[in-house]
Structure 1
Amino acid sequence: MKHIPRKRFGQHFLADQGIIDAIVRAIDPKPGQAMVEIGPGLGAMTQPLVERLGRLAVVELDRDLAARLRGHAQLVVTEADVLKVDFAQLAQSLGALKTRVVGNLPYNISTPILFHLLGFVDSIEDQHFMLQKEVIDRMVARPATSDYGRLSVMLQWRYEMEDVLFVPPESFDPPPRVDSAVVRMVPRAEPAPVDEKLLSELVQVAFSQRRKILRHTLGKWLEQRNFSGECDLQRRAEEVPVAEYLALAAAIRQ
């Protein structure tokens, strides 16, 4: 039976074979590699991936789609909410210390998924995701641009990222109302040693009022912590490079 896309799961199924081939080439799967696909859906990328890998783990929330996928002997199917999946355990179940992660992420929860995976970055070799183009623009944004924000800082702290492929709406069934793209995320070998919770709070405060200079937002937050170090608070949050946010988070912990 034909599967009807479910709006509550944000389902838009990739249907353009040329785009599918381009994504698989960007991922470059090799035989025997441990890989997890998030939201395989109707299997547009699943089949070419598993043909190259030999075996593929998939995480699918839709029980009807999960039932279909279980009929494929080379798939290891986890029927679950991806936000509750332990990717370290999943890698171990595949006999690997680290796994590669790919997927056409549901656009309505893409940012929570990215932050969930941030907690398992030490168990991940790389990530390739289809996302809303606007989100990827924010992920890879440089300082002093309108797209630069909390998402930029938190992800650039742990990943090298690259926008590798533009995907138009007509590549999907049904077509979304936004442009899409594919991002490559490679965990940094030696990320700055800062407390993730502290950095997240710091950056959230800094960007809470983008139009104001940091003296009015981050300055008050630092005063509450009795921070006496140096920090130029006469700038807006978007003018501060990632490295400076990391250095400030490290200084606060000392």
Structure 2
Amino acid sequence: MTHRCAVIGSPIAHSLSPILHRAAYEQLGLRDWSYESFDVTPQALPEFLASCTTQWVGLSVTAPLKSALLEHGLAEQRAKDLNAANTLVFGHPNRLYNTDVTGMRVALASHGVEKAGTAIVLGAGATARSALAALEALGVSTITVAARSVQRAHDSLDPIAAILGVDVEVVDWTSLDSLGEHPADILISTVPTVFEPSRAVQLAALTPVVFDIVYHDYPTNLSRAAQAAGALDVDGVDLLVYQAIDQVVLMTGRRPQAEPLLELCRQAVAARG
């Protein structure tokens, strides 16, 4: 019997997850496993899950479904705290997990970053909440967040900041220029934004470590600016691969090697031009 898995979200056409997970299955010798992609909105999520037969093993879940997914299974505590799950393992009940946090931590650790005190986070959605948890695990206690809506940012981030015991200051997106007054150890961009080159240079100058979670446009202007500034550049391919490895473990019980998957994904991004 084929073991079915997939990535769901909307939009989903850009996702490298099918290439990545299929390569992991091949590496592990899992011949009867398949991995697809489906465009699913929050409104369509209940119907999609109801259509999944006993062949289905698990789902990778991306925007805008990470919060909505919590209504469809038993969530681990971290996913509950973050109000964001990116992994579903089918069962009775379904099990929900957040692998973004460990994905960020391992991505940073793979570049030698295992400790920090202050950080800047761009964005305030589900991935930003995961970033707060990953940063707290590194010892970060003070985080400046730039968001398009200060109130929505507080609504999204204050509950997890209180659980984590970190101090979060939110500034309006139009106040990015003021971030120069708050130099930090790490900058994490969680927004699907292509920064203008001049803005990217400004942001890259703020910290010695720049982590841009966008991968479909790598190298982004922010990554290029970080490299030009001599900052450590951690990119979205790192996060994509390391969070997916945890998903593969949850779904198959086996762990693939990271390096071949990182190389494959970088080649796939480059081929898209």
TM-score w.r.t. structure 2 length?
0.41
The structure that has the greater radius of gyration is 1
